Amino acid sequence: MNGKFAPKSKWNAIDWVDVFSQIPTPRALLIGPDHVFSFANDGYLEVVGRDRNQLLGKSVREIFPEFVEQGLTELLDRVYQSSEACTVAAREVNICRQGCEEIFYFDFTYFPMRNITGAVEGILCQGVDVTRAVRAKTELEAEVRERTLELEELHENLRTLNHDLMRVQDEERRRLGLELHDSAGQLLAALKWKLDPLQRELGAERPDLRKLAQDALELLGELSQELRTVSYLLHPRLLDEAGLAIALRAYVEGLKERGGLSVTLEIDPNLQRLSQGIELTIFLTVQESLTNIFRHAKTKSAKVRILYNSRFVKVQILDRGQGIPGFTSLKDPNVKLGVGILGMRERIRQLKGQLDVESGAGGTIVTAVLPIGCVNEDPVLAPKKCA
């Protein structure tokens, strides 16, 4: 169609109106600066809901005044004046058909039609009605948004459930620990109180019975010790009574005495009492990390560091052991973790904190940072007065 490139005689012989009439998608030819319809194919007439007679010889502004405020006539003016084609994708177009405004979406192009001298004579409008595709896409997007919201809600519910379960479990462990220590512990103390004089009274004439009483007392001692350990593991009573620093010192001492692990504790001297939830989470994080070092790190020493300011408490558990095999980062789905680390992470996340693990051939560093301020807002977890 461009006179500069086409062999004139050959193209002039082609009936362009016939060609455009055969094309099923909308086509129209507009002539002059007022964009007067000189041709419209059936596809165009169908979309705009007009007869050919209604369009031909009339300007776009006359037939479609609604196009003015939608900026379409301005677009035509620009193409006519600049002589540059304009392509638009999935553009919303409101067309007034039989008195009713209907919304369509078109991919369309306005091509400037130049004469032999290169001057623009008119515009060829060609478009594809993509209304159904756009609507389907919009509906699909809305559906995806809705499903995503539902999923997020379910996820949040699961989180809440998990949080509640952890609380109930903590409460149950605390209750069991205290019960074992207080009730069963008291009964064992009373039993010892009764066995002691019995053993003393059994004279030399019944060494067999005296030996039995002696054995019973030794078993009783072991049972008491075992009971105290189980009760402590269920819930470190010291934590509630004396706070994190003292409970951790006692725990670390216990580890050393049992010949397990030598742990250096560095606790910020300004550390204050924190909420029950935070203190328990930190204690369990240290406990799990030290247990991991004992079980997996192939080293006999570790360090626990607790830093504190008015907004955050930061806990680090460090070892110079063999590192977690194949570890890259906590986010790496290929790294196989057990309930220990995942449980720690979940507990810390519940308190709006963050758990980070770095591990390599030089050892492992577990870091937990917990905001103090945020938890203060939770009345259940409100911090106690400083010790």
Residues at the site binding Mg ion, with contacts judged by CB under 5 A = 292, 340
- Smallest distance from Mg ion to CB 387, Å: 30
Distance, CA of 108 to CA of 185 (rounded, Å): 86
Contact 261, 302 (CB under 8 A): yes
Of the candidates 340, 354, 369, 374, which one interacts with ligand ATP according to CB under 6 A?
Answer: 340
Of 250, 5, 198, 221, the C-alpha closest to 116 is: 5
Nearer to ligand ATP among residue 228 and residue 296 (C-beta): 296
- Smallest distance from ligand ATP to CB 321, Å: 5
Of 299, 285, 180, the C-alpha closest to 237 is: 180
C-alpha count within 13 angstroms, C-beta hemisphere, residue 104 = 21
Of the candidates 337, 369, 376, 383, which one interacts with ligand ATP according to CB under 6 A?
Answer: 337
Residue nearest to Mg ion (CB): 340
Look up residue 168 and give its two tokens: 């109930």
Look up residue 172 and give its two tokens: 């149950």
What residues does 124 pair with on adjacent strands? Answer: 29, 111
- Smallest distance from ligand ATP to CB 239, Å: 20
CA 48 to chain centre: 48
Nearer to Mg ion among residue 256 and residue 295 (C-beta): 295
User: Residues 266 to 325: which contact ligand ATP by CB under 6 A?
Assistant: 292-293, 296-297, 319, 321-325
**Contact call for residue 29 and ligand ATP (CB under 6 A):** no
Phi, psi of 45 (to 5 degrees): -60, -40
Look up residue 133 and give its two tokens: 């595709």
Please choose which of ligand ATP, Mg ion, none residue 263 contacts, taking the beta carbon within 5 to 8 angstroms, the exact cut-off set by kind. none
Instruction: Give, rounded to a whole angstrom, the gap between the first and last alpha carbons of the chain.
Output: 91
Q: Which residue is associated with the tokens 């099923």? A: 24
Please choose which of Mg ion, ligand ATP, none residue 129 contacts, taking the beta carbon within 5 to 8 angstroms, the exact cut-off set by kind. none
- Smallest distance from ligand ATP to CB 165, Å: 17
Nearer to Mg ion among residue 94 and residue 291 (C-beta): 291
Nearer to Mg ion among residue 185 and residue 340 (C-beta): 340
**Contact call for residue 260 and ligand ATP (CB under 6 A):** no
> Amino acid identity, residue 269?
P
Provide the binding-site residues for ligand ATP, judged by CB under 6 A: 292-293, 296-297, 319, 321-325, 337-341, 364
